[in-house]
Amino acid sequence: MSAWRHRGEPPAARGPRRPSHFEYSRVALTFDSEGSNCAGWLYRPDGVESPPVVVMAGELAAERRFGLRPYAERLAEAGYAAFLFDYRHTGDSDGEPRNLVDPDSQIVDWHAALSGLRGRDEIDSRSLVLWGAGLSGGYALRAAAEDGRVAAVAAQNPMLDGKAVTRGRGVKGALAALAAGVRDRLQSRLLGPYRVPVVGDGSSMAVFEDPGVRAAYRDLVPPGSAWRDETPARLFLSLLRYRALPDPDAITCPTLLVSGTRDDLAPADAVAALADELPDATLVELPAGHFDHYDRAFEQTFGHLLSFLRTVR
C-alpha cells in the first residue's frame, strides 16, 4: 500500500488544535519489567485533563537524557504528556551488566512501560502513542504490532535490522565483531562481560566506527554525564538476527516514519520500502543524517510529529 509522503516542511496541521503553549510538570516514575525497576520521567501539561501520552525511548545504548528531553518538553508545551524511560541495564534503571543492548528484553521493557501507564489515572491510557529513535524506532514498531491497542506509533530513523552495526566493516571487521560477541558470551559466565566501546576514539573496534557518527553520538551525551562509553560485545550476536518487523501487516494503527536521506545507519530506502508495506503510514523524508533530528533538523522533525499527532483519534 502506498504511504503518504512528505518532504521538507510539515503540512498544515489537521485535527483538533490545542493552545500553543502549556506549562508542564515532570515527575519521576518507575515500573517493573521482569522483576527489575525501570526509571522514567512523565511530563504532563498543566490544565489538561487526561492528556494523550507519547511513550519515548532513544538510540542504541543511550539514556533518556540523550537528546529526548527537548522532544518531551515541546510535546508537553503542546498539550501532550510524554513518558521517557531507560531500558533495563541503562541510565537510572536496574540491571547488570550496564549498557547491555538486547532487543528481546528491551522490547519487553516497552510492553512493561505500557502496562504501567495503563494503570495511571492522570493520563489518557487509551491514547498511548509510541515514539522511538534509531534502534528504539524499530522496537516501537514491534511493540505496536504486538500490543495491538496503542493509538499510533512514530519511528524516527528506525533501524529495521542489525546491519547498521556491521555495515561498512568488511568481512574481516564483521568476523572480528562476531568473535568479540562470542568472547563476551563465554567470558561473562566466569570473569564478567567483555565490553567494546559504543563510539570510541577510532583506536579500537566500536559499535559505531564512522567518525561522523561518533562525533554526533557524543554530542547527545550531556555534560557531566556518568555514562560509560562501553557495552557488552554480545550485542553483535543479538543484532545479527534482529529484524524489527517480520510482519508489517501486524501494525494496524496509524504510523509515522521519519527518515534522513543522508542516514547511513537507517537507510531512507529501507524506511520507504517499509512504509509501502504498512496499511496506514505517513512517510517523511528529510535531507538529514541520523543524528541531525536532535539539532539542525529538530524543528522540521518535531513539526511533522506534532502534525501527525493531531490526526490521531
- DSSP state, residue 179: H
206: closest CA among 240, 179, 230? 230
C-alpha cell read off for 144: 505496536
Q: Quick: pLDDT tens for 265-298.
A: 999 999 999 999 999 999 999 999 999 999 999 9
More confident site: 26 or 209: 26
Contact 255, 154 (CB under 8 A): yes
Q: What pLDDT score does 9 carry? A: 60
Q: Quick: pLDDT tens for 68-123.
A: 999 999 999 999 999 999 999 999 999 999 999 999 999 999 999 999 999 999 99
The helix (run of H) or strand (run of E) holding residue 132 is strand 128-133
Q: Which residue has the cell 492528556?
A: 51
Q: Quick: pLDDT tens for 185-229.
A: 999 989 999 999 999 988 889 999 999 999 999 999 999 999 999
Angle at 256 (CA atoms; ends 115, 209), nearest 5 degrees: 90
Instruction: State the Cα–Cα distance between residues 123 and 40, nearest whole angstrom.
Output: 15
**φ and ψ at residue 116, rounded to 5 degrees:** -65, -40
Q: What pLDDT score does 214 carry? A: 94
Residue 15 has pLDDT above 80, yes or no: no
pTM of the entire structure? 0.94
**φ and ψ at residue 272, rounded to 5 degrees:** -65, -40
Q: What pLDDT score does 6 carry? A: 59
Contact 52, 81 (CB under 8 A): yes
Q: What pLDDT score does 166 carry? A: 80
Q: What pLDDT score does 114 carry? A: 98
Residue 12 has pLDDT above 50, yes or no: no
Query: Which amino acid makes up residue 116?
Result: G
Q: What pLDDT score does 2 carry? A: 45
Q: What pLDDT score does 7 carry? A: 61
Q: What pLDDT score does 8 carry? A: 59
Q: What pLDDT score does 255 carry? A: 98
Going by pLDDT thresholds of 50, 70 and 90, the confidence category of residue 167 is: confident
C-alpha cell read off for 52: 494523550
Domain ranges across the chain:
24-163+237-312
230: closest CA among 200, 254, 203, 202? 200
Give whichever of 11-25, 45-59, 161-175 has the largest mean pLDDT. Answer: 45-59
Q: What pLDDT score does 121 carry? A: 93
C-alpha cell read off for 7: 518532504
Q: Quick: pLDDT tens for 228-268.
A: 999 999 999 999 999 999 999 999 999 999 999 999 999 99
Q: Does 24-163+237-312 carry CATH code 3.40.50.1820?
A: yes
The helix (run of H) or strand (run of E) holding residue 216 is helix 211-220
Instruction: State the Cα–Cα distance between residues 280 and 113, nearest whole angstrom.
Output: 24
